[in-house]
A and B are shown apart, each in its own frame.
Chain A
Amino acid sequence: MSESAYTVILADDMVPYRRLVRTVLEKSGSFRVVGEVGDGAEVIELTKAVKPDLVLLDLGMPEMDGLEVLSQISAASPATKVVILSGFSEECMAARGLSLGAVRYLEKGIHPKALVQELLAAMR
């Protein structure tokens, strides 16, 4: 894995999905997963501590949902970009998520290669 790889926090309460995404991102060589969390409150704390390049954020999570934490992630680490990766359809939630500070909205079900491409495009 390249040292210049983008650092990522994965925020998703579904552990098996998180594990698969981690594998996909790390295999790509372009991303280095520096933390995984399962609820909204944790992602804010970890973002403050790690200040990653990217947070890959699910919307439906315990404690605080993804929409609740979006603005707080920006406050915790202004340079961190947030991409939403959610099971909710883009039509249903994208506008809300983007208006709150996310740079991209991706639907779960996206092909691993497309996921990596979309994330790289988001980081440019």
Chain B
Amino acid sequence: MEFWMIGALANTAITATYLAIALIIFRGIGAAGQWRANPLALATGCIFFTCSVSHGLRVAHLLLLLLGVEAEIGAATRQVFSAWHISAWDSLTAAMALWYFSQRRISALVRGAQIFEDVRVRQGEAFEIHDNVVQRLANAKMALDSGETQECLREVETTLAASRKIISDLMGDKRTGHVVRPGDLRRQSPAGRS
């Protein structure tokens, strides 16, 4: 087998794999409605798509030469692919593309933006609890340990009010419009047991 044939096979594999990856990414973005919200996934999909077209054109030129169409370009392409290092490199690229495709985690790219958003929201909630509950309870304990009972009681009352507000906000989540329904407050075990 000549080197240009190896190059043609490698480029065919690259074209098909890159196209499949691009389609998976675009389908995921569409299903999640993230065309604007996830530019990283969109750009990644576009890169795979344009590279797929680029490698596909090389294959097309080689094939058209066999049919006698666009013979000059086809001959030049074949000459390029006759250099062993170009075909070898394309073969390596094809192997990498197939390896990437086999990971079957491409959809994670699409979930990425949502995951980052979820983490950001969760960290915000953690900070709110830290600042309004943990810090105040620590303050109450320090006051109690220092014998400042009034300060301790005041801080416990403030913490109680802050905790209620946080829980109310989380239960009737303003972001998602979630409304608490009968059964939502059913617990796995009695309160106070951890």
Contacts and interface: CB of A to CB of B under 8 A. Distances in A.
Contacts of A108: 134-135, 138-139, 142
A20 B146 contact: yes
Chain A, interface residues (CB within 8 Å), range: 10 to 19
B151 A16 contact: yes
B143 interface: yes
Nearest to B139: A17
A60 B131 contact: yes
A14 interface: yes
A24 B131 CA distance: 22
A14 B151 CA distance: 14
Interface of A: 14, 16-17, 20-21, 23-24, 60, 87-88, 108-109, 111-112
Contacts, number: 44
Given A23-B146, A112-B146, A60 B127 contact: yes
Contacts of B135: 14, 17, 60, 87, 108
Contacts of B155: 16
B133 to A, nearest CB: 9
A49 B125 CA distance: 36
A60 B130 contact: yes
With most chain A CB atoms within 10 A of its CB, the pick from B130, B131, B135, B141 is B135
A109 B137 CA distance: 8
A109 B138 contact: yes
Nearest to B134: A87
A17 B130 contact: no
B145 interface: yes
Chain B CB count within 10 A is highest, among A16, A17, A88, for A16
